[in-house]
Structure 1
Amino acid sequence: MKVLAINPGSTSTKIALFDDEICLLSRNVAHDAARLAQFARVSDQLSYRKQTIEEVLAEEGADLDGLAAVVGRGGGLIAMEGGTYEIDAKLLEDARMGANGVAHPAQLGSQLADEFARVHGARAFVVNPPDVDELQEVARITGVRGVYRTVHLHALNLKETAIRHAASMGRSYEDCNFIVAHIGGGISVSAHRSGKMVDGFDIVGGEGPLAPTRCGSVAVADMAQWAQGHGLENVLPLCHKTGGFVSLAGTSDAIELTQRAEEGDEACRLAWDAMIYQIGKCIGSMAVVLEGRVDGILLGGGMVHSDDLVRRLNEACGWIAPVTAYPGEFEMEAMAAGARRVLTGAEEPKRYSGEPVWQPPACFAE
């Protein structure tokens, strides 16, 4: 059962070809940054990226005969429940235009999947797109009428990590409660109850722990005062580009930061310590969301290769539930696994409606 997974990034596209669970090919296809800059919109890059991917597949001698499915990263879509979605005209339309208002190369994932699927007579899917929203209603309410919480998280890796850990326990994801953290360039901490990601943090909007390029949660009054001296236009970049390690220590590289900390750089030591401290606080808050009924705390992402980070989070949070580390990520495997679940009948494919999964209650109408 061959499945091709396609995950577009800023200047490259990850591709992986699977036969059942065996990875036959995995490549990070580089794209010319100058060429990409010539395109006015993200979706205008489609033909160029497709051609580059085809060239690499040909160089590798990839055998796509009998391809059953192609899965693309599902950027640009309106918030939806998690699951595997069959790509259709509505989903493609929203991906092309970036219906969620976020211009990101992930918009190309579904479009590329559709292109390759048409050529090879395969089915096309997206699995747990970036805008998965399964929040319980009480988690959406803020103290400002008309402003409601949403989350932007590493949903694909968070859910796949939970699915795999549940299987290792001989249980299903739907029968477990987990706190799952993805700790990499961005840091997602989320609560999973009975197969739904019921709470988490908006890591694009400035919530959660500080991360290599993200400021994390900061008091609104403090940011309003900061903006008076630094300019309002510089606030949003702190949420996802210029905050965190970049602001505190001048680097986004966690390895460099920890090396400098070991050499006596006090700013780097404090930044590292504060990040781990804040991750632990966020994990603790998700334990409250799950009312203490937690089957496991799961840590994934690139920084989980750090023994120091894992040890300290285990010391801080191990009393809540057992802590298990899954260094790295399962994104490509997760996309292929979602397709396989549908192809084998273990899961029903979902249809993308393009309608928000939640509307503000009438009692808070403006």
Structure 2
Amino acid sequence: MTAKIYKVFTINPGSTSTKIALFHGDEKVFAQNIDHQASELSQFHSINDQLEYRYDVIRKVLAENKVDLTGTDAFSARGGGTCSVEGGVYGVNERLIEDQRSGQYVQHPAALGAQLAELFKKEYGGIACIVNAPDVDEFTDIARITGIKGVYRQSKIHALNQKEMCIRLANDRGQTYSDLNIIVAHIGGGVSVTAHEKGIMVDSNDIAHGEGPMAPTRIGYIPAASMLKLCESEVDTAELKLLLTKSGGLVSHLGTSDAREVGKMINDGSRYAKIVYDAFIYQIAKEIGAMAAVLKGKVDAIILTGGISHDKYVVDTLNSYIGYIAEIAVMPGEFEMEALAAGAIRVMSGKEDIKTYTGNPVWSAEKFEKAMGI
């Protein structure tokens, strides 16, 4: 019997754009990156106020391109704005939408994804879901402890793309994600390096709060005393926050977040560009080594993904540092839309159970401290 080819519409809202794509099974039959002008977004007082605007813009683009969503089996969206959850596919329900609308966990357009999926579901039928949201937190308790009592590490990772790459690698090997220990280095605008132990992301650097290697726009680890010195200087809090996530890393050193431009500087003879870029790669290699220690050296593969993994120099240099640990699989680019579709299809084809969002975080400081008797 021929397996059903599912029709899935995927939605990924970002700060200034909304990505959409329609899939027939694994085949992407339509995709559009809808840009939103700052002047359009400025009329809205809150992110929630953008919902109807983004919904109408999507419908307009679909109509202009004669894309019919009749018969769509699933509307799969980027998550965000929920409490911490296990990885997987979650059906959109009232509690999930309530938490996203409240803004209590994050203020980001990603929180509109599930709400948009629900609006399209009401119009066309099918299911509405989110897949491996940014709020996925599967850390072990030991990975959360810091040197300050009451301050804990949390999981802020490129969960959607990372888990999709692991699933693809496992499928290529004729195995399952839960069979393998994999280190994934997502190297793009942000850099997250994660230890996946038998299908669970047990440790990683927190890309939202300044951990890990420096990235094109982020500072990564710096000595705490140096940060204190910056805080005591004339640099204000807003400027420091910008440095942490927008103007640090390659931007701070070289004035650009584009690795291709950095490569051009190096080719033009800039010794400073060369040592900064080499330091960027070196720090990623160190983080991969740290995650190998987390897995106690039992590493089945290392995946390099994200846009900068297209750079042969980056891949070759990383290989010279960490190639001894395990086989390196280069899977460049980001596959977020494909991952959203694949997650929905796994659920509809019975390969994965859909989960229910309860609003109860999988980890909290209060629960942990009670369990530890603190």
TM-score range, shorter chain: over 0.9
CA distance in 1, matches of 2:216, 2:372: 37
Check the 8 A contact 1:146/1:364 in 2, yes or no.
no
Alignment of 1:225-304 (within 5 A): 225-233=229-237, 234-304=239-309
CA distance in 2, matches of 1:128, 1:139: 20
Check the 8 A contact 1:139/1:149 in 2, yes or no.
yes
**Are 1:47 and 2:38 matched, yes or no?**
no
**Are 1:153 and 2:153 matched, yes or no?**
no
Tell me the alpha carbon deviations over residues 198-236 of structure 1, each in whole angstroms, 9 at most, x when there is no partner. Answer: 100111100010001000011211110122224350322
Deviates more, 1:262-271 or 1:218-227: 262-271
CA distance in 1, matches of 2:234, 2:248: 13
1:33 to 25, 34, 38: 38
Tell me the alpha carbon deviations over residues 235-282 of structure 1, each in whole angstroms, 9 at most, x when there is no partner. Answer: 222221111011111111111112112212233222211110000000
**Are 1:185 and 2:195 matched, yes or no?**
no
Tell me the alpha carbon deviations over residues 169-200 of structure 1, each in whole angstroms, 9 at most, x when there is no partner. Answer: 11000110000011000011000011110100
| 1:79 shift after superposition | 1.1
2:125 to 107, 121, 131: 121
1:195–1:315 Cα change, 3 Å: same
Letter in 2 for 1:122: G
The answer for the alignment partner of 1:2 in structure 2 is 7
CA distance in 1, matches of 2:172, 2:371: 44
The answer for the alignment partner of 2:3 in structure 1 is none
Secondary structure at the aligned position of 1:23 is classed as strand
**Are 1:165 and 2:169 matched, yes or no?**
yes
Secondary structure at the aligned position of 1:274 is classed as helix
| 1:59 shift after superposition | 1.2
Secondary structure at the aligned position of 1:361 is classed as helix
Secondary structure at the aligned position of 2:356 is classed as coil
The answer for the alignment partner of 1:69 in structure 2 is 74
| Count of aligned positions | 365
Check the 8 A contact 1:223/1:235 in 2, yes or no.
no
| 1:295 shift after superposition | 0.6
Letter in 1 for 2:164: E
Give the superposed CA RMSD.
1.2
Deviates more, 1:126-135 or 1:30-39: 30-39
Letter in 1 for 2:368: P
Alignment of 1:105-144 (within 5 A): 105-144=109-148
TM-score using structure 2 length? 0.95
Letter in 2 for 1:279: I
1:189–1:99 Cα change, 3 Å: same
| 1:19 shift after superposition | 0.8
1:135–1:330 Cα change, 3 Å: same
| 1:362 shift after superposition | 2.8
Letter in 2 for 1:226: L
Secondary structure at the aligned position of 2:86 is classed as coil
**Are 1:92 and 2:85 matched, yes or no?**
no
2:370 to 353, 362, 365: 362
1:19–1:363 Cα change, 3 Å: closer
Letter in 2 for 1:117: K
1:365–1:270 Cα change, 3 Å: farther
The answer for the alignment partner of 1:206 in structure 2 is 210
Check the 8 A contact 1:145/1:364 in 2, yes or no.
no
Deviates more, 1:163-172 or 1:253-262: 253-262
Secondary structure at the aligned position of 2:41 is classed as helix
Secondary structure at the aligned position of 2:152 is classed as coil
The answer for the alignment partner of 1:12 in structure 2 is 17
| 1:83 shift after superposition | 0.2
Letter in 1 for 2:224: V
Letter in 2 for 1:237: L
Check the 8 A contact 1:15/1:26 in 2, yes or no.
yes
Check the 8 A contact 1:31/1:52 in 2, yes or no.
no
1:269–1:353 Cα change, 3 Å: same
Check the 8 A contact 1:179/1:190 in 2, yes or no.
yes
List alignment gaps of at least 5 residues for structure 2.
Answer: 1-5
Check the 8 A contact 2:138/2:155 in 1, yes or no.
no
| 1:61 shift after superposition | 1.1
**Are 1:80 and 2:85 matched, yes or no?**
yes
Secondary structure at the aligned position of 1:135 is classed as coil
TM-score using structure 1 length? 0.97
